[in-house]
Structures are given as C-alpha cells and as structure tokens.
A and B are shown apart, each in its own frame.
Chain A
C-alpha cells in the first residue's frame, strides 16, 4: 500500500528533513490527530493503517501552505490526498453519499463546493 501511495502522490518522503515547517504553517492543526509532518514520517515507515482510520484525512483543506513552504519540496498535501484516495477507492468507502447531502447541506455554500466535495470524497 505504501508503494501505491508513493506512486499516486509522486512524493519521496525520504526527502523530509523533519523541520516541521509544514505543521507550523497548517491552518487545520487543531483539528488533526496526525499532522502533516507525521503523515510524511508514517508513510515513510509504512504505518499506514492508523492514517486510514484517522479523521485527520478529512481535515486537510488543501490550502497547499505545507507544499508552498516546505524547503525540501516534499509536498505533504499530495501525500494526504493519496492516502485519502486509497481509502475512498475501497468499495463502499465513499465519504459523501448523495442521500446524506440533504441533511448536511449548508444553504450558504456555493453549488460548486458541493461538486468539489463529491469529486474529493466519493468515487
């Protein structure tokens, strides 16, 4: 699974020098159980199951600040997204199902956000 994540993301986690700038810059820090630098380290060390089960996967707002500021060009966001994709591709693992939308819908959200959410959280 590790190889699959690396292939999808194109990330080489060995490039990380553990400076923590990604985590320092992450706006979703408070919501996350595992932080961007931990994603990188855990994928590198093949500790992927805890990541798959963690709500942290869905906390990432794809702001790309981690990717922008990482001095080594590691792209932690790409890695988080790849783990997300692995999870969603498993059968029946859709995060967002059409029948749930009605009850969770916030009328102030633009329609585009809904489309994006489907694209991101379901197969």
Chain B
C-alpha cells in the first residue's frame, strides 16, 4: 500500500475563490492510502515546496498528489521538489483544479465537488504509479537554421560565436531575405542594406557557419540532440568552386523576360542571374524554367562566355545528409495574395502597388534607381494614397484575422520619406487605428504628421477606380468629419497583410512542430517559452512565429540562439521515461503501432519468447525510448492491448475513471 500525501493549492484566489480548498483536503484524507493532506496559499513557492518535502521525509510518503494548476505549468517544479526530498519524481501526480476547475466554474459548491473528484482520480492513479528512471542520449553539437533572412543570420551568428557549428539552409540563391529588399528601416531611417550586408558577410566568413543556399530541407528524422536531416541542394547549373562571380554570363544571357523576384516583379531579370549586387554567395544561378538552353537545347551563350568553365548544364540536385542537435525555424513571411481584393484594382492598375513594391521603387538599387515614378508611365506622381490594414484584421476568407503589426510604422516611414524627398507630392494615409507601440515609434509617426505634413484620415477606402485620364479615383470615408471623400490620385500603396512563408507548413510537418490556424509556428508557452516549439529541440526565430519588426526579430533570434547554445552545451540529455512499451506476450507484430507513430520510434525484431511453456520466435514491436515522445497514439492503435505508456498505463487511466464514477 502506498503512503500518499495530498497538497491542495489555493493559487491565491485563483483556486480558493471557487473551490473550498480545506474541504478538498479533508475529502482527500478519507481516501485509502492517504496519510497526509493539507492546503496552502502558494504550493509552488519556496515555503510550499518545503512543506511538501518535509511531509515526504516525516511521513515517509511514497507518492504525492498536488491539486493545483495545469501540469504544463508546474509539474516539473513539483517533481524536482519531490526528487530533492528523495522521492522518485514520477511518483508525483497533478490534479488540475485551476484550468480544469476553478477557472471554468462560477459556483463554489460545484467547483469544490469537481475538485474533490479530480483529487480522488489522481490519488487512484498514484496508487499504481511506479518509479521511472530517465535514460540518457548524447547531443550532436551542431545546429541547423532553416531560413537565411535576418532572423536566421542573427541566430546562426550568435550560435557560431558561442563556438558551435551552424548550418544555414536557404531556399533562394542568396541569404538576406526580406530585409535585403527594404530601403530604409524605422524608426531611425538607416539604410537596410547597410546594416544587413555586413551581417551577411560575417555569416559567410564565419568559420563555424556553413551556408546551403538554393537548398531545401527534404527530410527530418530523429529527436532532440540527434536529428538527421536530408538537405536538397538544388542544381544551380554552376560549378561553385570554379565561379569567380564576375557576372559576365548574366550580361550576355538573351532570356530577359522573367519577373525579377528581388524587385517584386517591377522589372525583369535574365535566366542566369545573381539576385542583387551584394548577394551571398556571389554566384549566379540558372533558372531552368526560363533558360533557352534548357527549353530548346540551343543557346549556351553563358557557357561560351564563361572564362573559367563554371557553367555545368548537367549538374544534378544533390542530397546532403547532416546530423544536428537542434533545429531553428526561421522561415519568415510573405505578403498575402491580393487577387481577391478587386475593389483596390491591384491586379488591374500598375499604379496600385504593395508597400514592398514601393520599397523597391524607392531603393537606389531598385528598378528606377530610387526615383519614385508611376509604374504605368514613369511620370512623377503628384498625389499618393496609402491604405492601411489591407487584408489584416478581417474575418472573411480573403483576410487574416490578426494585425500584421509592422504596417503602421512602415507606412509612416514611406509617407515621411516621400514628403522629405518630394515635398510637392500630397500624401494621404487612410487608417483604422494607428498602432505604434515601441521605442521611439509613436514619436516617429507624429513626426510624419507634424513635421512632414502627411494627411492622416481615420477611415477606410471603399474602392479605387481607374479613370480615362490614367489617374485613379479613391472613394473613402473620413469618419471624424463624417464625409465621404473622392480623391484624385496618381498612386495607391496597399499596406498588405503578411503571412508565414508558404514553405513553413511543409517544414512544420517534417519537424512535427505545431502551428496555429494562420500557419505561424506555435511557441511552447506564449509568455514563458516564446522561442521554443513544443517539440523538443526545435526553436523559433523571427516572423515564422508571428508578425514582428526587425528589432523584435533580432531580439528573438538572439533568444533562440541562447536556447540552442544551452542545449548544445550539454553532453547528454535525459530522455522522457514516460514512453511506450510493448508487452511481448501480447504483441502480434501487426505493425499498426509503427504506422501511427509520428516520430518513427517503433521498429520490429524477430525475438524468441517463452509463452505458456512454449518457446517460439515472433515478430515483436520495439520502442526506441530516446525517440518516443510518449504521445500514446500506439496504445490506442494496438488491437491486442500490448502497447502501454509508462506513467499512463491503461490500468492507471481506468483507475482514474473508476475513482470519478465511484
């Protein structure tokens, strides 16, 4: 018979206001095996933990039940406290009487009744708990960063500076990401390229960093500390070790009709191309879809021009397999498709552009060398309208429910830069709310209004109409003076909502990392573990986790790096001992469990068993304890009941149900 102690937490008034805690302790005392029961204001505090430890020592407790908050919150805390007092940490059970009871009930009598039932269930379970011991696995001291934008670069630099090897996998031909496309950065208006490109160079030159550009993660196996990743290095059709980056090939290429991704399609690029002057690596890539040689078998001008023979039309994709201890997702964002926003004429009028396109139009390295002109006729605009929240904060299927967070600031930046450079242009901004929290952010927005004379109007634009003279007519409301405005304008700039990069979902599946309904990666805890995925060993950096500006992205990148360093510093990791186990006498080797296992933790082996005096060889399921995450899927799939989860055995769960139904 176990000697069980029950500790009921008030959680201040969080629990005690809805649950009569002393009544719960009293009821628990009546349960078989319970030798001690008490309540206290804050069980997780030092005094509370001391109370638990003293009770373990003085009463010789063999199992304890803490009636408190969710185990996700403090299970680890209480297990550690129990271990310090000499009790096996897996002899601790949590009855969640906060999230699953006090927070969802209003009536104290009902709340108390339910709390008592939850406590009884946990007591019944503890009776069947067995001490578990965690095994150890070694840690591969190398990290993988997926995505080579500012988030990925900063994470990689921070990890590498701590002395660990890092690989960056970037799907496009160069690192740099979206930040490389920006003109200036708020709120200081320093040049984006000037602060980014040195970091790109640092990353490329760092002896601990290896870049895989034009590459994609193809397969991820393994678990925290021991990931095995297949990287597909797509064929650039260039021999990297021979290429000098002189760029002559790109000037000779006759295929010049492909939209230039770096300039948001505002001009064209050649089929063999280097995305931009500061690209890293400074090596061209042949876009096989556009290349005349790949389409017709003719041409080959680049090959003839190349002085070092670096063009290789026969190059194949290469699969590189590498081992990692930790993986950081830094896959970033893209702007949403505006296909379904017909009221703004984006698909019809070239003078209706996204803010990212405006960045390129204003950039000295952009298609117009930084001169702001109407894309339709290259004329200087006189009036410009900015529309905020395009696709953000909406409920329909064409919109995103969230605030994209960066648009208010970059719109203020664009408006200010235009008024600064071209004081003759009238700039109107239509907003729903101006959201500028952040250091020096609101001051920045006020400067746009007060010092630069940007006309901010509270209200949305209803529609944009093309007119015969080529100008645009904007119909909008000004809610503050109750008018419907009709503005003649030359250009309309849409502050387009951002969404996670489309590669993120596929990656999340490979990493078994969870995502929210918008495809942003979910953090392990929204407040306390913001840079970790719930999947052990997978970390999050930048906008793949949620909309962020550059300072926040860099801060999070550093935080993710710190977490990775903390993991890679360790030589060995403790495994979760609450893993699946197959009873060999019941297992029929049917393979159902391995089919449902999301972690690939189950293998089969032929083994000799002794069953009722008969010795025979059978095909049996074998769980790799280091890989198993204890999700329990196999225990449900097993038709013969051979699979069981240590710490959550069928017997234990049935005992809980019995206790509640008694």
Residues of A within 8 A of B (CB): 15, 17-26, 29-30, 35, 37, 65, 69, 71-73
**Chain A proximity of B481: nearest CB distance (Å):** 11
- Selected interface stretch from B459-467, B525-533, B591-599: B459-467
Known: A21-B477, A24-B463. 20 other contacts (CB 8 A): A17-B393, A17-B432, A20-B459, A20-B460, A21-B462, A22-B462, A23-B459, A24-B484, A25-B343, A29-B484, A35-B477, A35-B482, A35-B484, A37-B477, A69-B343, A69-B462, A71-B394, A71-B395, A73-B395, A73-B396
Interface SS of A by simple majority: helix
Taking CB atoms, residues of chain A closer than 8 Å to B393 are: 17, 71-72
18 A-B pairs within 8 Å (CB atoms) are namely: A15-B395, A17-B393, A18-B432, A19-B389, A20-B459, A20-B460, A20-B477, A22-B462, A23-B459, A24-B461, A24-B484, A25-B343, A35-B484, A37-B477, A69-B462, A71-B389, A71-B393, A71-B460
**Chain B proximity of A75: nearest CB distance (Å):** 11
> Of A23, A69, A71, which is within 8 A of B484 by CB?
A23
Q: Within the assembled complex, what's the spacing in Å between the Cα atoms of A85 and B475?
A: 30
B264 CB–A CB distance under 8 Å? no
Taking CB atoms, residues of chain B closer than 8 Å to A71 are: 389, 393-396, 399, 460
**Chain B proximity of A114: nearest CB distance (Å):** 30
B458 CB–A CB distance under 8 Å? yes
> Of B394, B463, B475, B477, which is within 8 A of A72 by CB?
B394
Pair B479/A18 contact, Cβ less than 8 Å: yes
Q: Within the assembled complex, what's the spacing in Å between the Cα atoms of A37 and B458?
A: 13
Interface membership of chain B positions 305-346, coded 1 if the CB is closer than 8 angstroms to chain A and 0 otherwise = 000000000000000000000000000000000000001000
Q: Which of B455-498 contact A (CB under 8 A)?
A: 458-463, 475-479, 482, 484
**Chain B proximity of A44: nearest CB distance (Å):** 15
> Of B389, B395, B396, B459, which is within 8 A of A24 by CB?
B459
Q: Within the assembled complex, what's the spacing in Å between the Cα atoms of A19 and B484?
A: 13
Taking CB atoms, residues of chain B closer than 8 Å to A18 are: 432, 479
**Chain B proximity of A37: nearest CB distance (Å):** 7
Q: Within the assembled complex, what's the spacing in Å between the Cα atoms of A26 and B463?
A: 10
Pair A25/B394 contact, Cβ less than 8 Å: no
Taking CB atoms, residues of chain B closer than 8 Å to A24 are: 459-463, 475-477, 484
Pair A25/B395 contact, Cβ less than 8 Å: no
B480: nearest chain-A partner, CB-CB: A20
> Of B458, B461, B482, which is within 8 A of A21 by CB?
B461
Pair B484/A21 contact, Cβ less than 8 Å: no
Taking CB atoms, residues of chain B closer than 8 Å to A37 are: 477, 479
Q: Within the assembled complex, what's the spacing in Å between the Cα atoms of A21 and B461?
A: 6
Taking CB atoms, residues of chain A closer than 8 Å to B343 are: 25, 69
Taking CB atoms, residues of chain A closer than 8 Å to B482 are: 35
Taking CB atoms, residues of chain B closer than 8 Å to A22 are: 462
Taking CB atoms, residues of chain B closer than 8 Å to A21 are: 460-462, 477
Decide yes or no: A23 and B477 within 8 Å by CB, A35-B482, A65-B462, A71-B389 being known contacts: yes
Q: Within the assembled complex, what's the spacing in Å between the Cα atoms of A37 and B476?
A: 13
Pair A20/B395 contact, Cβ less than 8 Å: no
A15: nearest chain-B partner, CB-CB: B395
Taking CB atoms, residues of chain A closer than 8 Å to B459 are: 19-20, 23-24
